[in-house]
Amino acid sequence: MNYQLTPASASDEKWLEELRRDVYRELFEATWGGWDEARHRRHFAECLRLACISIIAIGGERVGMVQLFDRDDSVEIGEIEIQRTAQSLGIGTRVLEDIIADAHHRNKRVVLSVGLGNHRALQLYERLGFHRIAQSETHHHMACAPPRVKVFPTDDSIVAAARARAHAMRSRLRALVASPDPPAGAAWREFGSAIGIRKPGKPGLARLMAASADALPQLDDAIAWMDGIEGADVTFEVPPIDANRPLREALAHRGFFPRRFQAMLACEPRISDLRLPEGIAVRAPRADEMAAYMRTFMDGFRQPDQNWSDTEREYFEREMVQEFGDQICWRLLLATVEGRHAGIGTLWFDGSTAFFSNGATIPALRGRGVHGALIRARLAEAARAGADIAYVDTNVSSAAERNLHRHGFRLVCHLGMWSRLPKSA
């Protein structure tokens, strides 16, 4: 859902007054025992006097307003109003999530007040992480503090994030190689502390993950080991720390360059309010629906120009069931919308570390809150398992990264993906 915030102007005042009258009438009467026009006008005049009002618009049409006061240590939401015809569409929730994410990114708490009789808004605020801190005769006063994050962008945390990603992938490939009918050429191998992965396919993998300077003596051996894998470019995932500068220089000398980057993020696992949007449920897939689960997995990640034959799809489904077969290390979660498979989330464990390996929603059911529900469910699962840190990787500046920020994840680094220069270059 895309919305726009624009500063309110004098030309918006009549619309804002009508919006406030319509949105607050029932609550006003419940709080004050009846409609009081003079009180309504005083409250509206005070709102205009305090200013800092933005119009919420979708597709150029005004649908609501929000009033924000950005203070030294907090962001106060003075008002948020969504017109009745646009309520229950998730607009207010999305605006609030973005306000919270931005404030927490700046290490500020978010505060607001809600009428004692506004039970629907109170439930929403509690679901978003607000807690009651005080109460007056008419209002609950609430705050949403930044999550306590145990990781900062230090060299140690950068390496730990890259290794969590590498070890999760190794776990999948190790299970596949040990299966009764492994694909020809699939293998993994250690080069120093780095993990080499190769698997032919569509797409294939030829990757040295969590690459570090201790792989330098075996660099040419690693390139030769990964070369020639069907459907794959040889790629080095290099954590951006000073100690890896010699490796980056050696790769550049051999014709490699950082073709793209993955955002690596971290969060402290927690069990928050798991109430889900209407119609959405999250659970573990049953044994008899694993093929359907993997079909949802594939459809969630499939590119618009990517198509598989029925034979290819069945082969990939069987292969992925084998990859995620280690139930000690892996937790699989399935999201449904009114009973229909809608999205998947995978979670890998290694001691006190959890890694969100995959998360995807099928295109037809995006924008319904499925991805956020899977994030919250996996954070809760990680907390129950005793993990003290959860890592995830995602495309830089993607909708998924923004959603992860809304749920408390913070950037650890941008992991460089080094591939060869095109032959024509």
CATH number at residue 332: 3.40.630.30
Could you give the C-alpha distances from 278 to 88, 282, 369, 399, in angstroms and in order?
Answer: 10, 12, 10, 22
- Hey, which residues does 269 pair with through a beta bridge? none
Tell whether the model's pLDDT for residue 150 goes beyond 70.
no
User: Is residue 239 one of the residues assigned to a domain?
Assistant: yes
Is the domain of 255 the same as that of 327? Answer: no
With beta carbons less than 8 A apart as the criterion, state whether 94 and 112 touch.
no
pLDDT tier, 153 (very low <50, low <70, confident <90, very high otherwise): low
pLDDT tier, 358 (very low <50, low <70, confident <90, very high otherwise): very high
Q: Report how far Cα 102 is from the mean position of its chain's Cα atoms.
A: 14
- For the question of whether the overall pTM of this predicted structure is more than 0.75, the answer is no
Mean pLDDT in residue range 26-31: 75
Rounded to 5 degrees, φ, ψ at 194 are -80, 160
Amino acid at 219: L
Could you give the C-alpha distances from 275 to 125, 267, 375, 385, 402, in angstroms and in order?
Answer: 12, 20, 13, 20, 21
Q: Report how far Cα 59 is from the mean position of its chain's Cα atoms.
A: 25
Rounded to 5 degrees, φ, ψ at 422 are -55, 145
Is the domain of 202 the same as that of 178? Answer: yes
**Does an H or E element contain 187, and which?**
strand 187-191
Range of lowest pLDDT (28-37, 75-84, 153-162, 345-354): 28-37
Tell whether the model's pLDDT for residue 85 goes beyond 50.
yes
Is the domain of 164 the same as that of 83? Answer: no
User: Is residue 392 one of the residues assigned to a domain?
Assistant: no
pLDDT tier, 185 (very low <50, low <70, confident <90, very high otherwise): confident
Which of 92, 119, 144 is the C-terminal boundary of a domain?
144
Is the domain of 217 the same as that of 303? Answer: no
> 3-state class of 272 per DSSP?
coil
- For the chain, report the end-to-end CA distance as a whole number of angstroms: 39
Top mean pLDDT of 151-165, 300-314, 331-345 is at 331-345
pLDDT tier, 148 (very low <50, low <70, confident <90, very high otherwise): low
Residue 180 has a pLDDT of: 86
Is the domain of 183 the same as that of 278? Answer: no
Mean pLDDT in residue range 197-226: 91
Tell whether the model's pLDDT for residue 380 goes beyond 80.
yes
User: Is residue 413 one of the residues assigned to a domain?
Assistant: no
Is the domain of 90 the same as that of 203? Answer: no
Is the domain of 15 the same as that of 136? Answer: yes
User: Is residue 406 one of the residues assigned to a domain?
Assistant: no
User: Is residue 215 one of the residues assigned to a domain?
Assistant: yes
Q: Which has the higher per-residue pLDDT, 347 or 317? A: 347
With beta carbons less than 8 A apart as the criterion, state whether 282 and 377 touch.
yes
**Residue reference for tokens 């941008």:** 414
Question: Which residues have CB under 8 Å from 248's CB, separation 6+?
Answer: 238, 416, 418
- Hey, which residues does 113 pair with through a beta bridge? 141
Tell whether the model's pLDDT for residue 275 goes beyond 70.
no
Q: 125: domain range?
A: 4-144
With beta carbons less than 8 A apart as the criterion, state whether 167 and 350 touch.
yes
Residue 1 has a pLDDT of: 61
Tell whether the model's pLDDT for residue 32 goes beyond 90.
no
Is the domain of 165 the same as that of 283? Answer: no
Tell whether the model's pLDDT for residue 283 goes beyond 90.
yes
With beta carbons less than 8 A apart as the criterion, state whether 158 and 166 touch.
no
153-157-162 Cα angle (round to 5): 110
Residue 424 has a pLDDT of: 46
Tell whether the model's pLDDT for residue 295 goes beyond 90.
yes
Residue 292 in tokens: 């359907």
CA distance 128 to 147: 12
Give the residue from 323, 325, 322, 347 showing the smallest Cα distance to 334. 347
User: Is residue 104 one of the residues assigned to a domain?
Assistant: yes
Which of 250, 266, 282 is the C-terminal boundary of a domain?
266
CA distance 36 to 58: 32
Tell whether the model's pLDDT for residue 47 goes beyond 70.
yes
Question: Which residues have CB under 8 Å from 155's CB, separation 6+?
Answer: 241, 242, 243
Is the domain of 115 the same as that of 200? Answer: no
Half-sphere exposure of 341 (CA within 13 A, CB side): 20
Tell whether the model's pLDDT for residue 398 goes beyond 80.
yes
DSSP at 181: S
Indicate the average pLDDT of the chain.
88
Tell whether the model's pLDDT for residue 274 goes beyond 70.
no
Strands 280-283 and 131-135: unpaired
**Does an H or E element contain 348, and which?**
strand 340-350
Residue 419 in tokens: 């591939």
Q: Report how far Cα 129 is from the mean position of its chain's Cα atoms.
A: 16
User: Is residue 52 one of the residues assigned to a domain?
Assistant: yes
Is the domain of 254 the same as that of 281? Answer: no
Domain count of the fold of the chain: 3
**Does an H or E element contain 67, and which?**
strand 61-70
Strands 74-82 and 109-115: parallel
> What totals of helices (H) and strands (E) does the chain contain, helices first?
11, 18
Is the domain of 24 the same as that of 102? Answer: yes
Is the domain of 354 the same as that of 368? Answer: yes
CA distance 417 to 278: 39
Range of lowest pLDDT (59-63, 167-171, 203-207, 220-224): 203-207
Q: Which has the higher per-residue pLDDT, 291 or 422? A: 291
Cis peptide preceding 304, ω within 30 of 0: no
User: Is residue 129 one of the residues assigned to a domain?
Assistant: yes
